[in-house]
Structure formats: structure tokens, C-alpha cells
Amino acid sequence: MRKKENVEKKLIASFKELAKHTPIEKLTIQEIAEDAGVIRSTFYHHFQDKYQLLEYIFESEVIDPVKPMMQNDMLDDAVVLIFVQMLKDKEFYGRVYRLQGQNSFESIVKKSLYGTILEVIEEYSPNKTSKHKLLSHETLASYYSEFLGFIVIAWIRDGMIVSPQEMRDLFNYIKDHSLYEMIHEME
């Protein structure tokens, strides 16, 4: 098990370093493997492609630390931690968010958030249904993952200059106010 983790760490470090200088779309598996000191086939023993590696990085570095907070009804702390974790590797996330298309970073963020939020909803209310027909566990998870994912991507796009605490406050403000309340408060 240790050897597998060590190889994954090398591949992650290689991918992150190369992504700082080369757009993800142009990075090859061969380059990532060589930089990590392994052969190309070793990469494929761990990851299907570079997009799965990117998803693994985001989930292990950002989502996994947040899960226990979400599972313990600490949403505010979880939202702050998402931004804190991403700030630790600001340069990397500042580059990968630009990844567009079928394997966009935005879709990776939203997919990861969706899975975690759905898991939390199902733990809290495994057999409960809403009085509203269309408000299923999946719909609720989709809504919150889209909303939080959008805020994460906008924050990265704007240079990650707003503090994690301010991002939590923004998340809560939008979540807790109607569209019309927010419009009337604008100057």
C-alpha cells in the first residue's frame, strides 16, 4: 500500500509542477510519468487519464478534509475550509480552473461537491422525501453543488483575493436571501 501511495504522490507533484508552466490540455501522460520518475504504464495503473488525476487531487486535497465537517453539521466551517485548502495551492488552482470542455475543472468541482453533498443528505435523511415532488435528494445536492461550484470558480477566476471567511459570508448571504432582497440592497 505504501508503494502505491508514494507513486501517487510523485504523480501528483509532477502534474502540479508541470501544470504551472503548461496548459493541462497540452500535458501528456508521458511528460507527467517521466517527471515523476516512473514509466508511462505505471501512470495507467493509478489513473485512467490526466483528468482523473486532477479529480483525485481536488477530492483528496479539498473535498476529503471537508467531508467530516459536512457530516457533522458544520457547513460554515466546511465552506471556509474549501477555500483555505485551495489557497494552499493558489498557483495550481489558478491555472487549472481555465480547463474547459468535457473535462473542465468546473465540472470536476461540481461533480465532487455533488457526490459529497448527496452523501451527507442521504446520511441525514435516508428514507425521507420532501412534500415537493421535484425536491429529491439528488435535486437538492445538484442545486447546492452548482451554487457552491459556481462561487468557487468565480473566486478563482477573480484571483482568489477574497478571504475564505468572506466567501463563506457570501455563500450564506446568497443562500439566506431572496433575489429581490439582494437586488434592493444593491447601491
Let me know whether 58 and 69 are in one domain.
yes
Interhelix angle 75-87/137-157, rounded to 10 degrees, is 40
Whole-angstrom distance, CA of residue 159 vs CA of residue 91: 10
Q: Looking at residues 55-83, what average pLDDT do you find?
A: 94
Contact call for residues 137 and 119 (beta carbons, < 8 A): no
Tell me: the pLDDT tens digits for 79-114? 999 999 999 999 999 999 988 888 899 999 999 999
Same domain for 84 and 108, yes or no, is yes
In a shared domain, residues 146 and 59? yes
Predicted pLDDT at 12: 95
Number of domains in the chain: 2
Single-letter amino acid code for the residue at 62 = V
* 128 pLDDT more than 80: no
My answer on whether 28 and 56 are in the same domain is: no
The verdict on 42 and 61 lying in the same domain is no
Same domain, 57 and 127: yes
Domain match, 34 and 80 both: no
Which of 17, 20, 9, 13 lies closest to 96 in space, CA to CA?
A: 20
**Mean of the per-residue pLDDT values for the chain?**
91
Provide DSSP, 131-153.
SSTT--HHHHHHHHHHHHHHHHH
Helix (H, G, I), strand (E, B) or coil at 159: coil
Q: What is the pLDDT of residue 4?
A: 66
pTM to 2 decimals? 0.88
| 26 and 80 part of one domain | no
Domain that holds residue 6: 1-47
Same domain (yes/no): 5, 22: yes
Q: How is residue 24 written as a grid cell?
A: 493541462
Helix (H, G, I), strand (E, B) or coil at 65: helix
Look up the CATH number of the domain holding residue 77. Answer: 1.10.357.10
pLDDT of amino acid 82: 96
pLDDT digits (tens, 9 = 90+) for 20-57: 899 999 999 999 999 999 999 999 999 999 999 999 99
What proportion of the chain, given as a percentage, has pLDDT over 90? 70
Please state the rounded mean pLDDT for residues 150-175.
94
Q: What pLDDT does 185 receive?
A: 87
Type of residue at 17 = E
Identify the domain boundary among 25, 47, 69: 47
One domain, residues 39 and 16: yes
Give me the pLDDT at residue 123, please: 86
Provide the pLDDT for residue 2: 67
C-alpha to C-alpha distances, 8 to 13, 75, 116, 155, 160, nearest whole angstrom: 9, 30, 22, 28, 27
For residue 37, what is the domain's CATH number?
A: 1.10.10.60
> Taking the mean position of all CA atoms in its chain, how far away is CA 76?
16
